[in-house]
Amino acid sequence: MFLEFLGLAEKERYSESDLESAIIDNIEQFLLELGKGFLFEARQKRFTFDEEHFFVDLVFYNWLLRCYVLVDLKIGKLTHQDLGQMQMYVNYFDRFVRLADENPTVGIILCKQKNSALVEITLPQDENIHAREYQLYLPDKEELRRKLMAWAAEQENSNG
C-alpha cells in the first residue's frame, strides 16, 4: 500500500500516532486506497473487558462485504505480539459487536516491514487477519523495474 498522499517524509522519524493522524487528515484518499464500500467508524475505538482497556487504531465498516474491518498501524517490523493483539481485537468484535447477519470481522495490520514466514506460522490458514506493508513513497523507476522483473519471474516459475 502506498501512502504517499499522507505527506510524511520517508526518512523522518514519526510515531504511530503521527501516522494515524495523517491518515485521519487524509481520510478520503485513504478510503479510496482501501477500495469500494468502506465507511469510517472510529479512531482509537476503546473496548473493555476484565477492567482493562484496549484501543483499535482505526475501525471501518465495509457495506459491500457486510463486515467490520479493523486496522492497526505499526511503524516498525511486524511481531507475533502484533498478530496476537489483532487476533484479540477481531475475536472481540466477532463476539460482542458484530450482528448475527454480518460477516466475520477482518483485521489488517499495516506495518513498515512484514515477515511473511512469521505471519504464516502464527496465524491459522483460514484467518481473517492480514499483514500488509506500506510505503510512504513510490519507489524510483529502477526499483519499480526490478520489482516488476522479479514478479514476472515468480509468475513464470509458478505457471511452468
**Single-letter amino acid, residue 101:** D
Full-model pTM: 0.69
Q: Which residue range forms the structural domain that includes residue 9?
A: 4-159
Residue 115 has pLDDT above 80, yes or no: no
* pLDDT tens track for 25-56: 777 777 777 888 898 888 889 999 889 999 99
Number of domains in the chain: 1
CATH code of 144's domain: 3.40.1350.10
> Predicted confidence band at 120 (pLDDT cuts at 50, 70, 90)?
confident
Q: Give me the pLDDT at residue 4, please.
A: 54
> What CA–CA distance (Å, rounded) separates 46 from 66?
21
Taking each helix axis as running N to C, give the angle between helix 27-34 and helix 16-25, from 0 to 180 degrees, rounded to the nearest 10: 90
Percent of the chain with pLDDT over 90: 29
**Of 5-19, 43-57, 63-77, 134-148, which range is least confident?**
5-19
